[in-house]
């Protein structure tokens, strides 16, 4: 991955943009899109769009969500401590003891999520996992009035972890779920801008996926695509303590290429085209089976209007919904290339009627 692409990815990861508050990451994504796309805009819901080959056919939509899990301030007590509610799915064990960044009207306010020290816990308390409702944020305020000068009810916050590279081409950070996907769909569009696609391509960074696939629903309705490809992350099963999950999820490994999902959520012809393209272009890939709606933007795409020929291409990721999500940069590059080369093959005559 070149230096410019890495910086774009890092800027995405370092943006503070939990579900419903995606403005900072939208600014980064759109600035990059404007360097090559024919049309770039943000819709009323907050989804950001970049269009390539306007007027082409069929109409194809890429979706990668750029919201992340976080928290929201719901109460400020008399001593100035903040009480929070989750935005998205949190493991309470991960939330406790974290440093946080709070997005306020006046800028970033820093704090920590507090918890009763282990020395002061009873033996029974030590066996229990704290619930989110029992955790608070300490911003160093003197009292309620002091805290209210810095934050307001409803201010969103995220854990204070950014982009960092590890050995062997791996990178860690919060929000790879799914800034990695938002990165890939734009990189695929960038490649298609240099190719000769017949299709009109809409790369969309969607909002509010973590609270119900909300952005993909509205964006797809507006675009009305013939074909939709969602790019999300999926569970890598190549680390300790996975147990029977390997049998359930398949052996999914970092660095072994994007994961192409197969199941009822996926159009058979589009799946076959992705696999055929990967083989022809010598792009490494993995396959996962999902016998239901996938719980990703692919589900919203497939069920749009009268139905959309849909695929899900995923990036293997370790430690999902934690501050140290881990991916392979090679997988991101391979995923973008797979999307671009597949879409290049699609023409108005390509049929996606499954049988």
- DSSP string spanning 127-175? TSPPPGGG-EEE---SSHHHHHHH--TT-EEEES---EE-GGGEEEETT
Clarify whether residues 117 and 188 are in a common domain: no
Query: How far apart (Å, rounded) are the C-alpha atoms in residues 100 and 153?
Result: 16
Clarify whether residues 152 and 102 are in a common domain: yes
Query: How far apart (Å, rounded) are the C-alpha atoms in residues 317 and 296?
Result: 15
Residue 153 lies in a domain: yes
Residue 338 lies in a domain: yes
Clarify whether residues 280 and 184 are in a common domain: yes
Q: Grade residue 143 by pLDDT with cuts at 50, 70 and 90.
A: very high
Total of domains in the chain: 2
Clarify whether residues 16 and 99 are in a common domain: no
Clarify whether residues 45 and 121 are in a common domain: no
pTM of this prediction?
0.95
Residue 116's pLDDT is what? 80
Residue 164 lies in a domain: no
Is residue 15 within a helix (H) or strand (E), and if so which, with residue range?
A: none
CATH number, domain with residue 241: 3.40.630.10
pLDDT tens digits along 71-111: 999 999 999 999 999 999 998 889 988 999 999 999 999 99
Edge to edge, the sheet with strand 164-165 lists 164-165, 170-173, 325-328
Residue 71's pLDDT is what? 97
Clarify whether residues 214 and 330 are in a common domain: yes
CATH number, domain with residue 78: 2.40.30.40
Residue 165 lies in a domain: no
pLDDT tens digits along 151-169: 999 999 999 999 999 999 9
Query: How far apart (Å, rounded) are the C-alpha atoms in residues 99 and 345?
Result: 47
- The domain of 306 spans 3-68+174-344
Backbone φ/ψ region at 292: left (φ over 0), alpha (ψ -120 to 50), beta: beta
Clarify whether residues 129 and 273 are in a common domain: no
Q: Is the dihedral of CA 126, 128, 134, 136 positive or negative?
A: positive
Please give the structure tokens belonging to residue 29: 């994504």
Instruction: Look at residue 127 and tell me whether its pLDDT is greater than 90.
Output: no
| Selected residue with higher pLDDT from 128 and 254 | 254
Instruction: Look at residue 349 and tell me whether its pLDDT is greater than 90.
Output: yes
Residue 248's pLDDT is what? 80
Among residues 159, 182, 203, which one ends one of the domains? 159
Residue 42 lies in a domain: yes
Among residues 159, 192, 217, which one ends one of the domains? 159
Residue 267 lies in a domain: yes
Instruction: Tell me the percentage of the chain whose pLDDT exceeds 90.
Output: 89
214-to-24, 151, 183, 295, 312 alpha-carbon distances in Å: 19, 27, 19, 12, 17
Clarify whether residues 151 and 196 are in a common domain: no
Clarify whether residues 232 and 286 are in a common domain: yes
Clarify whether residues 191 and 305 are in a common domain: yes
Residue 169 lies in a domain: no
Q: Grade residue 128 by pLDDT with cuts at 50, 70 and 90.
A: confident
Among the listed residues 22, 32, 68, 209, the single catalytic one is 209
* Annotation says 34 is catalytic: no
pLDDT tens digits along 51-78: 999 999 999 999 999 999 999 999 999 9
Q: Is the peptide bond before 178 cis (omega within 30 degrees of 0)?
A: yes
Nearest to 338 by CA among 219, 192, 233: 192
Please give the structure tokens belonging to residue 271: 């799946």
Residue 117's pLDDT is what? 83
Residue 68 phi, psi dihedral angles, 5° rounding = -135, 165
Residue 121's pLDDT is what? 85
Clarify whether residues 135 and 208 are in a common domain: no
Clarify whether residues 209 and 298 are in a common domain: yes
């Amino acid at each position: 991955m070149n230096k410019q692409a890495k910086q774009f990815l890092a800027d995405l990861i370092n943006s503070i943009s939990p579900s419903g508050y995606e403005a900072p990451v939208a600014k980064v994504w759109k600035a990059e899109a404007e360097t090559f796309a024919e049309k770039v805009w943000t819709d009323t819901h907050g989804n950001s769009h970049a269009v390539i080959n306007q007027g082409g056919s069929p109409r194809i939509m890429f979706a990668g969500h750029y919201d992340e899990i976080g928290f929201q301030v719901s109460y400020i007590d008399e001593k100035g401590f903040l009480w929070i509610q989750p935005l998205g799915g949190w493991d309470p064990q991960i939330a406790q003891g974290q440093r946080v960044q709070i997005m306020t009207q006046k800028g970033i306010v820093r704090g920590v999520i507090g918890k009763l020290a282990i020395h002061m816990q009873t033996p029974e308390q030590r066996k229990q996992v704290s619930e989110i409702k029992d955790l608070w944020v300490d911003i160093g305020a003197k009292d309620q009035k002091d805290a209210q000068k810095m934050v307001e009810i409803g201010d969103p916050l995220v854990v204070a972890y950014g982009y960092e590279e590890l050995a062997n081409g791996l990178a860690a950070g919060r929000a790879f779920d799914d800034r990695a996907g938002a990165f890939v769909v734009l990189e695929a569009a960038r490649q298609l801008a240099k190719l000769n696609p017949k299709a009109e391509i809409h790369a969309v960074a969607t909002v509010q996926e973590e609270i119900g696939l909300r952005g993909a629903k509205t964006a797809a309705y507006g675009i009305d695509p013939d074909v939709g490809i969602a790019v999300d992350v999926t569970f890598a099963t190549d680390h300790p303590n996975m147990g029977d999950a390997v049998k359930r999820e398949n052996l999914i490994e970092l660095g072994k290429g994007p994961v192409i999902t197969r199941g009822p959520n996926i159009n058979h012809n589009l799946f076959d085209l992705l696999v055929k393209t990967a083989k022809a272009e010598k792009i490494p890939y993995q396959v996962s089976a999902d016998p239901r709606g996938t719980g990703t933007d692919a589900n919203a795409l497939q069920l749009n209007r009268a139905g959309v020929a849909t695929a899900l291409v995923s990036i293997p990721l370790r430690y999902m919904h934690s501050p140290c999500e881990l991916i392979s940069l090679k997988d991101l590059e391979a995923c973008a290339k797979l999307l671009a080369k597949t879409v290049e093959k699609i023409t108005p005559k390509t049929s996606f009627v499954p049988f």
